Chain A
Amino acid sequence: MTIPVLICDDSSVARKQMARTLPDDWDIEISFAKHGEEALSAIKEGLGDILFLDLNMPVMDGYETLENISKLDLPTMVIVVSGDIQPEAHKRVKDLGAIDFIKKPTSKEALSELLEKFGLYRPTEGIPANAPPVEKTVIKGEIGQIEYRDCIQEIANVAMGQAADLLARLLNVFVKLPIPNVNLLEVSELEMALSQTEGSTTYSAVCQGFIGSGICGEALLIFSDSSFEDIAKLLNYTGDLNRMVELELLMEVASILVGACTNGIAQQLDTNFSQGHPVVLGQHVQVGSLIKANSKRWKKTLAIEITYEIENYNISCDLLLLFTEDSLDNLNKRLSYLMD
């Protein structure tokens, strides 16, 4: 009997990767949804007996989708597929009714194993390993045109999840993950984008260079100064919250977020980055004065912006990964496995 399977993810790259990871000999029909609302209506049409669900999506995210599924008592089995690998995220989706959780990037083996565990799929015996995959019918929705930006976004998504997991373990909290913002910016636009967050609040920031395989750039971690009080609490710093303590906290969080994020990206690009030593850009300054960009040397930058927030605490920080213009070609080449 052919099983209707629904893949719900806002990223075309992730939809494609998921479809590609499904067992070749699994008798299914596939539909795609770009966010929770589309998924709900597809399930109502009977197109999603099994739902592979992403967590961070616009319009309606994975958590809300799970809530709605249980509220409306919709007939579907949900497997959450996410880059958010915090144990707490895992626990939450299970509490909301998901049967299991699989981390991005998904592997064929891990997925088959999981499907077998729930009796949803049994490998057909006697199929030669090199047999061409059975074409699966797509009923509704589409993978969509895969753009360069989507690839970067998906890679950032996975790396950001790994970094958040480390931060969550260090601070013993739940880190709220956003959808990473990917943009090709002119230098002047970067300054503008930064100064948009400007207000009466002041910021502290460190930057750290990374380079490898012809790809290089800088990671910037920008903290609003109001965050430090809560971070100090979480890291058990007692006593006065002076500039030195704040610097200590800033460096500690930067080591983790920047290290894990750049490592995560390097892994997915199948390379290694060597990191320079972090440098303090400023403490208690207006955001605009953090970057005195050397606009003569470079014009465009690929910017990935990730805003981490910590649940129940007044902590928010911006991680900006900026790639130089001359890195883009090499980045492209290494991303091509996601594009074809």
Chain B
Amino acid sequence: MSEPNIDIKEFHWLMDMLQTIDVGLVVLDKEHNIKVWNSFMESHSGLTPLQTKDKNLFDLFEELPKDWLMHKTGSVFMLKNRSFMTWEQRPYLFKFKNNRPITGTEPFMYQNITISPLASTDGNVNHVAIIIYDVTDIAANRNALEKANLELETLSRTDRLTKLNNRGYWEECLSKEFSRYQRYKTTCSVIMFDIDHFKKVNDTYGHQAGDEVIRLVSKVLTNNLRATDIAGRYGGEEFGVILGNTDAESAMVFCERVREEIAALEVTYEGQLIKFTVSLGISQAVDSIPDYVTWLNEADQALYASKEGGRNQTNTFKHS
């Protein structure tokens, strides 16, 4: 600044440009005293350059993450290398309002920060520049996109009628559970069950009554699940449940509870009383099972045995 050969007029418009640029500029010395505070900073903080000149940054802004910022500026002074921070690691450095207070979706300004070493004429770095970019729109868009993707993901794996997992996603989970079993040998069981004579319900009372029955069965199932159990709607009136850390005996307790609760249900649909039952099949994972499809097939065979045995009952697949 003491360069005598810079035209004062030129200096004036150069400063003017730094003042009006839509980016925050702060210059600090080694003690974190403020040397430059441009109009972006003034507008958003409400403090004028005069009020901030030579004041300690941390005295003026007590809410700043002091240790963190000192660590960053410290390494910039030491290594004479620029340091970058993104809004993803820290949404903002200075808590400023969103510059679209009415239409903006975010309550505050997201910021990307660059800390640059400033070399004096003797080559020493006695000052750093903190540059603050407003990236609120980028952050808002990214957040909205992530939220939308999450919703899509949930939608794509959920069965509309029952809100249980759909067949595709449930089978994925089953395959993962089986891999976990193969690696860690954790006890686990799979259950298949379906509603007895469901076609008759549909034919007698209509499809809407059938849907209501499926919804009620799902509700009983959901109410009996523990946090780690994974249930899915496998087909029309067919359901599957993965029970982690559960042997066939405990799975039987689970099945019988569900079976009894369903048998006790009394559904009134358009003035008519509908009663129904379910048949269930269990298979506990053992070493002789080569893949998850076989495992599932065994539960299906146990379910078939329940049908053969007169329905409204549970059977376990016997591994020889």
Q: Is the CB of A280 within 8 A of B86?
A: yes
Q: Is the CB of A170 within 8 A of B79?
A: yes
Give B69-94 as 1s and 0s: 1 = Cβ < 8 Å from A's Cβ atoms. 00000010011011111101110000
Q: Is the CB of A277 within 8 A of B82?
A: no
Distance in Å: Cβ of A226 to nearest Cβ of chain B: 19
Q: Is the CB of A248 within 8 A of B79?
A: no
Q: Is the CB of B82 within 8 A of A255?
A: yes
Cβ of B133 < 8 Å from any Cβ of A? yes
Q: Is the CB of B85 within 8 A of A251?
A: yes
Which residues from chain A contact B88 at a C-beta distance below 8 Å?
A: 247, 280
Q: Is the CB of A259 within 8 A of B81?
A: yes
Cα distance A247–B85 when bound, in Å? Answer: 10
Which residues from chain A contact B90 at a C-beta distance below 8 Å?
A: 248
Q: Is the CB of A247 within 8 A of B81?
A: no
Q: Is the CB of A277 within 8 A of B81?
A: no
Considering only residues 154-190 of chain A, those with a C-beta below 8 Å from chain B are 166, 169-170
Q: Is the CB of B82 within 8 A of A275?
A: yes
Cβ of A244 < 8 Å from any Cβ of B? yes
Cβ of B112 < 8 Å from any Cβ of A? yes
Cα distance A208–B114 when bound, in Å? Answer: 13
With contact pairs A248-B89, A251-B89 given, residues A278 and B84 touching in the complex (Cβ less than 8 Å): yes
Which residues from chain B contact A166 at a C-beta distance below 8 Å?
A: 79, 81
Number of A residues whose C-beta is below 8 Å from B?
20
Distance in Å: Cβ of A252 to nearest Cβ of chain B: 7
Distance in Å: Cβ of A171 to nearest Cβ of chain B: 11
Distance in Å: Cβ of B118 to nearest Cβ of chain A: 15
Give B84-118 as 1s and 0s: 1 = Cβ < 8 Å from A's Cβ atoms. 11101110000000000000000000001010000
Contact of A260 among B81, B86, B112, B133 (CB under 8 A): B81
Give A273-306 as 1s and 0s: 1 = Cβ < 8 Å from B's Cβ atoms. 0010111100000000000000000000000000
Q: Name the residue on B nearest A257 (C-beta).
A: B81
Cβ of A331 < 8 Å from any Cβ of B? no
Distance in Å: Cβ of B250 to nearest Cβ of chain A: 32
Q: How many A-B residue pairs have CB under 8 A?
A: 43
Considering only residues 232-279 of chain B, those with a C-beta below 8 Å from chain A are none
Give A241-261 as 1s and 0s: 1 = Cβ < 8 Å from B's Cβ atoms. 000100110011011100110
Cα distance A260–B76 when bound, in Å? Answer: 12
Which residues from chain A contact B83 at a C-beta distance below 8 Å?
A: 252, 255
Q: Name the residue on B nearest A275 (C-beta).
A: B82
Contact of A277 among B78, B79, B112 (CB under 8 A): B112
Cα distance A277–B86 when bound, in Å? Answer: 8
Which residues from chain B contact A277 at a C-beta distance below 8 Å?
A: 84, 86, 112, 114, 133
Cα distance A47–B290 when bound, in Å? Answer: 68
Best-buried of B75, B89, B114 by chain A (most CB within 10 Å):
B89
Distance in Å: Cβ of A305 to nearest Cβ of chain B: 22
Which residues from chain B contact A275 at a C-beta distance below 8 Å?
A: 82
With contact pairs A277-B112, A277-B114 given, residues A255 and B81 touching in the complex (Cβ less than 8 Å): yes
Q: Is the CB of B84 within 8 A of A251?
A: yes
Q: Name the residue on B nearest A236 (C-beta).
A: B71
Which residues from chain B contact A259 at a C-beta distance below 8 Å?
A: 81-82
Which residues from chain A contact B82 at a C-beta distance below 8 Å?
A: 255, 259, 275
Which residues from chain A contact B112 at a C-beta distance below 8 Å?
A: 277
Which residues from chain B contact A280 at a C-beta distance below 8 Å?
A: 86, 88
Best-buried of B81, B83, B86, B112 by chain A (most CB within 10 Å):
B81
Which residues from chain B contact A256 at a C-beta distance below 8 Å?
A: 75, 79, 81
Distance in Å: Cβ of A282 to nearest Cβ of chain B: 11
Contact of A169 among B79, B84, B89, B114 (CB under 8 A): B79
Distance in Å: Cβ of A259 to nearest Cβ of chain B: 5
Distance in Å: Cβ of B182 to nearest Cβ of chain A: 15
Distance in Å: Cβ of B293 to nearest Cβ of chain A: 24
Distance in Å: Cβ of B25 to nearest Cβ of chain A: 16
Q: Name the residue on A nearest B81 (C-beta).
A: A259
Which residues from chain A contact B133 at a C-beta distance below 8 Å?
A: 277
Q: Is the CB of B86 within 8 A of A255?
A: no
With contact pairs A251-B86, A277-B114 given, residues A169 and B81 touching in the complex (Cβ less than 8 Å): no
Q: Name the residue on A nearest B133 (C-beta).
A: A277
Which residues from chain A contact B84 at a C-beta distance below 8 Å?
A: 208, 251, 254-255, 277-278
Give B163-200 as 1s and 0s: 1 = Cβ < 8 Å from A's Cβ atoms. 00000000000000000000000000000000000000
Q: Name the residue on A nearest B68 (C-beta).
A: A248
Distance in Å: Cβ of B302 to nearest Cβ of chain A: 35
Cα distance A279–B85 when bound, in Å? Answer: 9
Q: Name the residue on A nearest B85 (C-beta).
A: A251
Q: Is the CB of B86 within 8 A of A169?
A: no
Q: Is the CB of B75 within 8 A of A170?
A: yes
Distance in Å: Cβ of A159 to nearest Cβ of chain B: 13
Which residues from chain B contact A263 at a C-beta distance below 8 Å?
A: 81
What are 10 residue pairs bridging A and B, where the CB atoms are less than 8 Å apart in the complex? A166-B79, A170-B79, A247-B89, A248-B89, A252-B83, A254-B84, A255-B81, A255-B83, A263-B81, A280-B88
Known: A166-B81, A252-B83, A259-B81. 6 other contacts (CB 8 A): A251-B86, A251-B89, A256-B75, A256-B81, A260-B81, A280-B88
State the A residues within 8 Å of B (CB): 166, 169-170, 208, 244, 247-248, 251-252, 254-256, 259-260, 263, 275, 277-280
State the B residues within 8 Å of A (CB): 75, 78-79, 81-86, 88-90, 112, 114, 133
7 A-B pairs with the lowest CB-CB distances in the bound complex, closest first: A247-B89, A255-B83, A259-B81, A166-B79, A278-B84, A255-B84, A277-B112
